[in-house]
């Protein structure tokens, strides 16, 4: 039995909703055109979470001008600004629709809509029932396009190439066997392929940023010769003791923090729930877990982190690495909640 209504009929029905409640209509059209819903404020974010309306959204700071500039007029910003000045700054920074969430009703030509938190709550409930009603139609016609791209995230050293510790020249590149085949299979299964790599050797002064870029380019080229194409390589040059080196700031990008993955997820609209991370260390899996990826593989090649604890009671390298991050509660939670599998070869990675 197929209960789906045609896209034309769905559009008509939505247009009717649009007439009744412009803000809801606007919302629906944004979703249909794969827009991003952005919450600029903790209250709004909580309301979205509570409502469990199945929209992709992300929370950003009102100061994050680069991100705000990247939004288009289809995207929607829910903002809890306190006054005209903040709204004015936001309106200048972005071409997204601005929905001002405020208890105080003041007329503002700077926002497209103003709602109170109570109204927003009602609106989300309405949207939720509307989505329930049309769920299968949305899924089949539009929603699939929204954050539906799967990704295979891979650490570089110890996963793609043999890790000799601070790889510092292209001559040292040795691809791990099976990696090109895995990438080819993943591309065929419509995954985007990303390498997400910490290269603190730059911040430590062991090699230059240009050299790190060149090694990345060489690895990509060697893989391309085998018909395995990588969409993007992102690199964190930072290490925790290197605040001042140019290009080495941004601690949030260094794994186990999830910054690099989040960049890719937003840029390529990645559906984290169907994406995969392959790493050879605890921090790779933690970064992915924090970004929402739930399919985590730990390769036992590389630095043999999974050796059993020696009789002295000393923890294995893997456990020791986990220990290092337990002081950041978010990180220790991230791996507890997720399951990861250890694999001896890439053939064990499930792409379906």
Binding flag, residue 137, Mg ion (CB under 5 A):
no
**1, 100, 222, 295, 346 from 58: Cα distances, Å:** 36, 17, 36, 21, 32
User: Which of 158, 201, 258, 259: binder of Mg ion (CB under 5 A)?
Assistant: 158
Please say which residue, 140 or 200, places its beta carbon nearer to Mg ion.
Answer: 200
Task: From 17-25, 78-86, 155-163, 266-274, give the range in contact with Mg ion by CB under 5 A.
Answer: 155-163
User: Which of 44, 155, 291, 299: binder of Mg ion (CB under 5 A)?
Assistant: 155
Closest separation between CB of residue 224 and Mg ion, Å? 21
Binding flag, residue 75, Mg ion (CB under 5 A):
no
Nearest to residue 262, comparing CAs of 290, 286, 242? 290
**How many of the chain's residues bind Mg ion (CB under 5 A)?**
4
User: Which of 76, 98, 157, 288: binder of Mg ion (CB under 5 A)?
Assistant: 157
Binding flag, residue 233, Mg ion (CB under 5 A):
no
Binding flag, residue 80, Mg ion (CB under 5 A):
no
Task: From 28-36, 280-288, 318-326, 329-337, give the range in contact with Mg ion by CB under 5 A.
Answer: 280-288
Q: Concatenate the DSSP letters of all residues of 29-75 into one string.
A: HHHHTT--EEEESHHHHHHHHHHT----EEE--TT-HHHHHT--TTS
Closest separation between CB of residue 20 and Mg ion, Å? 54
Binding flag, residue 256, Mg ion (CB under 5 A):
no
Binding flag, residue 201, Mg ion (CB under 5 A):
no
Catalytic residues: 155, 157
Rounded to whole angstroms, the Cα distance separating 149 from 186 reads 12
Binding flag, residue 56, Mg ion (CB under 5 A):
no
Cα torsion 109, 111, 112, 117: sign: negative
Rounded to whole angstroms, the Cα distance separating 212 from 196 reads 13
Rounded to whole angstroms, the Cα distance separating 61 from 201 reads 31
Distance from the Cα of residue 54 to its chain's centroid:
16
The residues of the shown chain that bind Mg ion, judged by CB under 5 A, are 155, 157-158, 280
């Amino acid at each position: 039995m197929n209960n789906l209504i045609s896209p034309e009929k769905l559009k008509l029905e939505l247009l009717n909703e649009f007439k009744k409640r412009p803000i809801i209509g606007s919302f629906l059209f944004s979703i249909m055109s794969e827009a991003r819903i952005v919450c600029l404020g903790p209250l709004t974010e909580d309301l979205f979470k509570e409502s469990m309306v199945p929209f992709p959204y992300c929370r950003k700071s009102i100061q994050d001008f680069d991100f705000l500039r990247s939004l288009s007029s289809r995207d929607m910003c829910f903002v809890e600004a306190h006054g005209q000045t903040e709204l004015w700054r936001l309106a200048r920074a972005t071409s997204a629709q601005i929905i001002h969430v405020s208890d105080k009703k003041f007329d503002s030509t700077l926002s497209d809509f103003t709602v109170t938190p109570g109204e927003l709550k009602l609106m989300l409930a309405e949207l939720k029932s509307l989505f329930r009603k049309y769920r299968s139609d949305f899924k089949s016609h539009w929603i699939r396009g929204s954050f539906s791209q799967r990704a295979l995230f891979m650490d570089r050293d110890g996963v793609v190439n043999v890790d000799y510790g601070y790889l510092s020249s292209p001559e040292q590149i040795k691809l791990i066997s099976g990696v090109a085949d895995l990438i080819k299979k993943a591309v065929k299964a419509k995954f985007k392929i990303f390498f997400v790599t910490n290269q603190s050797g730059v911040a430590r002064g062991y090699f230059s940023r240009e050299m790190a870029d060149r090694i990345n380019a060489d690895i990509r080229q060697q893989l391309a010769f085998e018909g395995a194409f990588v969409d993007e390589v992102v690199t964190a040059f930072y290490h925790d003791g290197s605040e001042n080196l140019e290009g080495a700031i941004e601690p949030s990008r260094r794994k186990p923090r999830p910054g690099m993955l989040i960049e890719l997820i937003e840029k390529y609209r990645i559906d984290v729930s169907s994406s995969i991370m392959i790493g050879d260390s605890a921090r790779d899996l933690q970064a992915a877990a924090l970004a929402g990826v739930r399919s985590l593989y730990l390769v036992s090649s590389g630095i043999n982190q999974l050796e059993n604890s020696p009789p002295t009671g000393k923890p294995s390298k893997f456990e020791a690495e986990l220990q290092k991050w337990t002081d950041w509660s978010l990180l220790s939670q991230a791996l507890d909640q997720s399951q990861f599998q250890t694999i001896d070869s890439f053939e064990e990675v499930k792409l379906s």
